[in-house]
Amino acid sequence: MSGPGELMHALVRRLHPICRSMTGDGVRRTLEIIGESVKLDVHEVPTGTPVLDWTVPQEWNIRDAYLKDRTGRRVVDFAASPLHVVGYSVPVHATLPLAELREHLHTLPDQPDLIPYRTGYHTGTWGLCLSENTLRELQDEEYEVHIDATLADGHLTYAEHVVPGRQADEVLIECHTCHPALANETLAGIAVAVQLAQALAEIPGGPRFTYRFLFAPGTIGSITWLARNRDRVGLVKHGLVLACAGDPGPLRYKRSRRGDAAVDRAAAYALRDREHTVVDFTPYGYDERQFCSPGFNLPVGLLTRSPNEGYPEYHTSSDNPDLVTPDALAGTLAAVREIVEVLEGDRVYLNLQPYGEPQLGRRGLYRSPALNRDNKQHQMAILWILNYSDGDHSLLDIAERSAIPFAALLEAARVLIEAGLLTEAPQSPDSGGERA
């Protein structure tokens, strides 16, 4: 039976050939495939709809594109890779000399074997992408160029999947659906999100928080979602944007604009024993910058492996399924699950016997750490929780101070509650771990 890493990698491979853009049938087909694993609520927002300071654009769809030489050979062929066409190119069918064509041809001179990813959003232009080596081989002759595409009023498409929780407060998990043939940059995040959603649905009794998974085109998708949900964004207590999630690079967490939100602390804690970096928020990157715009200022961070623009295959034809590995996908998923476990489990407690250390022995809770080394961690967890459960410190605070694993603290809290020595503080924050 395949493990999570192999299942995620299979989804990446299946989605990779689809031509996606910020609108169109490629997005719909991508969502159809995701919907085979998790139930989706698909939204279609008409062209021209005002969304914050933006407007939903026209819908773009493409059927074919090519550049033919005088023998009829396709020297550039959309069928070989959707990267060959500049996204949102207007339709064209013409015969042009190479000198005139060049202003519409895009290459990577420093990576001459690779095809670049380019878009022409909102420009009304057209273009083809090809390798520099292919361009160098073109003869000084006329070429037939054809882009069989439509740009017309339609819809912007995004989808949500909700895992209901015991609380209405939400954790938002977002990944973008707009880039074609970019396995790591786009599809790995989708695959991790799907596996996480399935895991959350299996929690007995359901998770503490409600988890909202958003699959949307970058920038305009998150802006559209925010515009349509302004009256309920206050429910979002934590959030993560997932991207570049499957390459072999170390994990990287970018803090929310707040910098010290519960999700920022939970992510830093969950990554502590993994190769990783944690960086401060900047208003550049993925959709975290929309959720963290000053009017919303939501607690949403970004989790990647190699960051955007931080690996040589980024936005090129080398960002293919061979770059993504099952082990890297599984590692990203494990990190996200630990972040979620911390958010789910974090509480502020009160010691019900705070005057002196309560007698643990008569309650069956004490074994000398010196004599019971196998039980030492559990014993120390009990002592730390009792000492710091003063209504001001959460379990995450205690984990950071004590270096005891969060899971061990959760178990110690459980037995102390059963023994009548601990209760959740009435002012325990709904956000799950922000300092009181």
Cα R_g (the chain), whole angstroms:
26
* pLDDT, tens digit, 9 for 90 and up, residues 106-157: 999 999 999 999 999 989 999 999 999 999 999 999 999 999 999 999 999 9
Report pTM: 0.94
d(CA 299, CA 257): 7
| Residue 429 in domain | no
Which of 59, 121, 58, 51 is CA-nearest to residue 290? Answer: 51
Length of the chain (residues) = 436
DSSP-derived secondary structure letter, 187: I
Q: Taken in order 331, 334, 340, 341, is the CA torsion positive or negative?
A: negative
* Other Cβ atoms closer than 10 A to 164: 13
Rounded to the nearest 10 degrees, how much is the dihedral formed by the CA atoms of 20, 113, 284, 267?
90
Q: Taken in order 350, 355, 360, 366, is the CA torsion positive or negative?
A: positive
Give the per-residue pLDDT at 427.
61
d(CA 348, CA 350): 7
| Residue found under tokens 């270096």 | 403
Give the per-residue pLDDT at 375.
78
Give the per-residue pLDDT at 54.
98
Residue 377: is its pLDDT beyond 60?
A: yes
Q: Measuring CA to CA, how many Å separate 150 from each of 62, 63, 87?
A: 6, 9, 12
Range of the domain at 406: 348-424
* pLDDT, tens digit, 9 for 90 and up, residues 315-334: 999 999 999 999 999 999 99
> What is the domain count for the chain?
3
Q: Pick the last residue of a domain from 152, 179, 198.
A: 152
| Residue 430 in domain | no
| Residue 312 in domain | yes
- Do residues 64 and 79 touch, judged by C-beta distance below 8 A? yes
| Residue 190 in domain | yes
Residue 181: is its pLDDT beyond 90?
A: yes
Task: Tell me the average pLDDT across 339-356.
Answer: 96
Which of 228, 129, 241, 235 is CA-nearest to residue 177? Answer: 241
Q: Do 304 and 339 lie in a common domain?
A: yes
Q: Do 261 and 215 lie in a common domain?
A: yes
Rounded to the nearest 10 degrees, how much is the dihedral formed by the CA atoms of 66, 70, 72, 77?
-20
Angle at 229 between CA 224 and CA 234, to 5 degrees: 130
pLDDT band for 238, please (50, 70, 90 cuts).
Answer: very high
Q: Do 100 and 248 lie in a common domain?
A: no
Percent of the chain with pLDDT over 70: 96
| Residue 431 in domain | no
Q: Pick the last residue of a domain from 134, 152, 170.
A: 152
Composition of the chain by helix, strand, coil, percent to 5: 35, 25, 45
CA atoms within 13 A on the CB side of 190: 33
Give the per-residue pLDDT at 361.
82
Task: Tell me the average pLDDT across 281-309.
Answer: 97
Rounded to the nearest 10 degrees, how much is the dihedral formed by the CA atoms of 123, 124, 128, 129?
20
pLDDT band for 374, please (50, 70, 90 cuts).
Answer: low
* pLDDT, tens digit, 9 for 90 and up, residues 19-77: 999 999 999 999 999 999 999 999 999 999 999 999 999 999 999 999 999 999 999 99
User: Would you state the structure tokens that stand for residue 53, as one six-digit string?
Assistant: 């300071």
User: What 3-state class would DSSP assign to 341?
Assistant: helix
Q: Pick the last residue of a domain from 301, 320, 345.
A: 345
Instruction: Kindly report the CATH number assigned to the domain that includes residue 142.
Output: 3.50.30.90
Give the per-residue pLDDT at 435.
33
Give the per-residue pLDDT at 431.
40
Q: Do 51 and 73 lie in a common domain?
A: no
Percent of the chain with pLDDT over 90: 91
Residue 316, strand partner residues: 116
DSSP code string of 139-179: -SSEEEEEEEEEEES-EEEEEEEEE--SSS-EEEEEEE---
d(CA 253, CA 242): 10
